[in-house]
Amino acid sequence: VDHQKADWVSIHKKICQLLIPIRTSLPFLLSEKERKHGMEQLVKRQKYIIDLAYGTAQEFVLDGKHKEAIPAALHALHFSTEVYGSNSVQLVPAYLLLAEASTGKYCVGHLPQASKYLSQAEWIVLRTPDCSIDIQYQLHRGLGLFCAAEENFEQALYHLANDIYLASSTFGLKSIETSGGYFHMANIFFHQNKMDIANSLYAKV
* pLDDT tens per residue across span 104-148: 765 656 889 999 999 999 999 999 989 999 999 999 999 999 999
Q: What is the pLDDT of residue 16?
A: 60
Percent of the chain with pLDDT over 70: 83
Q: What is the pLDDT of residue 29?
A: 57
What's the DSSP call for residue 105? T
pLDDT at 40 over 80: yes
Give residue limits of the domains in the chain.
Answer: 1-111, 132-204
CA distances from 87 to 76, 84, 91, 138, 147 (A): 15, 8, 8, 18, 25
Mean pLDDT, range 3-21, rounded to an integer: 56
Residue 22's pLDDT band (boundaries 50, 70, 90)? low
Higher pLDDT, 179 or 41: 179
> Could you tell me the pTM of the whole model?
0.82
Q: What is the pLDDT of residue 132?
A: 93
Q: What is the pLDDT of residue 106?
A: 56
CATH number of 132-204: 1.25.40
pLDDT at 200 over 50: yes
- Comparing CA positions, the residue from 149, 157, 154, 151 lying closest to residue 181 is 157
Mean pLDDT, range 12-24, rounded to an integer: 61
CA distances from 125 to 76, 96, 120 (A): 18, 12, 9
Sequence-separated (6 or more) residues with CB below 8 Å from residue 113: 98, 102
Cβ–Cβ under 8 Å, residues 62 and 72: no
pLDDT at 80 over 70: yes
Average pLDDT, the chain: 86
Q: What is the pLDDT of residue 12?
A: 61
Q: What is the pLDDT of residue 8?
A: 47
What's the DSSP call for residue 9? I
Q: Which stretch of 50-54, 89-93, 102-106, 195-199 has the lowest confidence by average pLDDT?
A: 102-106
Mean pLDDT, range 173-183, rounded to an integer: 93
Mean pLDDT, range 65-71, rounded to an integer: 89
pLDDT at 202 over 70: yes
pLDDT at 152 over 70: yes
